[in-house]
A and B are shown apart, each in its own frame.
Chain A
């Protein structure tokens, strides 16, 4: 398929809206900080900033390189962020789903947050340089399956017209179908090769909004449930545990896969679990706060065809 450019002309306007609104809420004392994106040294690069003053709020922006899910900074695992007042945060649709999940898990209170939603045409894949133009070949695979280009329920959403979205190959759906068609032994061989690359840097865990445990199961050694050594046995156990702990909670921001320095397709596991939970329990993450996720609730009619 030929690569087609994706219209990102609205991002300049969005940047201006975000700056103006952030300055307003900071100056009026409505929030103590705004978590957003600012430009980095490298051409086109973007990094998260926690803007507490007008100088840093003036640097806020949004572009196709605004890949991070900033909701991670609001969790209790990130103790560095001030929690003493209301916080503003810039969110894409996928990020908002994660934040909604955190509210559902009683990790955050809606009234402590000022949500700045971003109408989003998509962001870049992790494999390309941040200065690359957004196109069907360079866009993050998650954006091709996105149904949340326009966040709802926010306190402020820039008033821009979102261009129509282009449809493309659904990479995850295709890859999951390919793997499902293999034999168990072939799938095992596939994941074995992928997991053997893992170096246990835990970037996947550290960027995940839902990995907010005070002490991860995998950091515990009494008893040790998962071998900490970065070799195939411990790596496989870690990734199975990670996928299972996120099942029914993962909102699909795909940060785990984006940050993996070894290019392990981690979001495939999350998407597979999301697909199964949709089929089994008709659950999908969205913009509505649910008190209980699919694995924290039940009905007496649940499928038990697999139980003797």
Chain B
């Protein structure tokens, strides 16, 4: 495969939280096998999916991620025996909460990718990147970050102009 030469108007930022034992090794395999996948993904390595706190996902969105991927060992393969089983329940609950708050779950992907599944890693990352690209930027959290309480707000047009010029 050759790297795509197509230029897009919008390149999404994807944050991937992965476990070091399976998915990180799988992504490594994809790299050493010279497989191509979108460079939109930024990989963060954790000891185990059980260590990935839902607040990390929240923080990623707040810091400007357009999509988030969480990936680890297949059930039964966890290096710490049960970390991914705990993570599975936790994320099943967390995604319901995010959905209820109004986050589009198409921006959040969970997957099991083993150390041998370089191909699956490429597929998961490519799918998520293309899906998020179609959806456009995640503006909700970014807009929120720009808002102040009314009492701290500078809310006349003249002031806004001056303020933006600073």
Contact = CB atoms under 8 A, between A and B. Distances in A.
Contact of B88 (A187, A248, A304): A304
A297 B54 CA distance: 17
A196 B153 CA distance: 13
B102 A237 contact: no
B93 A277 contact: yes
A300 B76 contact: yes
Contacts of B98: 240
Given A188-B140, A298-B89, A304-B88, A226 B100 contact: no
Given A188-B102, A298-B86, A233 B93 contact: no
Contacts of A302: 85, 88-89, 92
Contacts of A159: none
A150 interface: no
Interface string B79-116: 00010011011111111111111111000011110000
A291 to B, nearest CB: 15
Contacts of B91: 306-307
Nearest to A224: B59
Contacts of A188: 101-103, 140
Nearest to B93: A247
B92 A303 contact: yes
Interface stretch (A8-16, A141-149, A163-171, A177-185): A177-185
B149 interface: yes
Contact of A225 (B59, B103, B112, B144): B59
Contacts of B54: 244
Interface string A275-308: 0110011000000000000111111101110111
Given A226-B55, A230-B149, A244-B93, A184 B99 contact: yes
Given A225-B55, A237-B62, A306-B110, A280 B102 contact: no
Contact of B102 (A184, A230, A272, A297): A184
A188 B147 CA distance: 15
Given A184-B104, A231-B149, A237-B58, A300 B85 contact: yes
Contact of B145 (A233, A294, A300): A233
Interface residues of A, number: 47
Nearest to B90: A295
Contacts of A190: 102
B53 to A, nearest CB: 8
B112 A187 contact: no
A247 B92 contact: no
Interface residues of B, dominant DSSP:
helix
A233 B144 contact: yes
Contacts of B145: 233
A109 B57 CA distance: 36
A240 B103 CA distance: 11
A187 B102 contact: yes
Contacts of B85: 298-300, 302
Given A217-B55, A225-B59, A240 B101 contact: yes
A241 interface: yes
Contact of B89 (A185, A232, A269, A295): A295
Contacts of A135: none
Nearest to B109: A308
B148 interface: yes
Contacts of A306: 91-92, 95, 110
B101 A294 contact: no
A62 B47 CA distance: 52
Contacts of B93: 244, 247-248, 273, 276-277, 280, 294-295
Contacts of B96: 272-273, 276, 280
Contacts of B141: 233, 236
Given A236-B144, A244-B54, 18 more contacts: A186-B102, A190-B102, A231-B148, A233-B141, A233-B145, A236-B141, A240-B101, A276-B97, A277-B93, A295-B89, A295-B90, A295-B93, A296-B86, A298-B88, A302-B89, A306-B91, A307-B91, A308-B109
A-B complex: 6 closest residue pairs judged by Cβ atoms = A188-B102, A187-B102, A298-B85, A308-B111, A276-B96, A307-B110
18 contacts: A184-B99, A184-B102, A186-B102, A188-B140, A189-B102, A225-B55, A230-B149, A231-B147, A231-B148, A244-B54, A272-B96, A272-B97, A276-B93, A295-B93, A302-B85, A302-B89, A307-B110, A307-B112
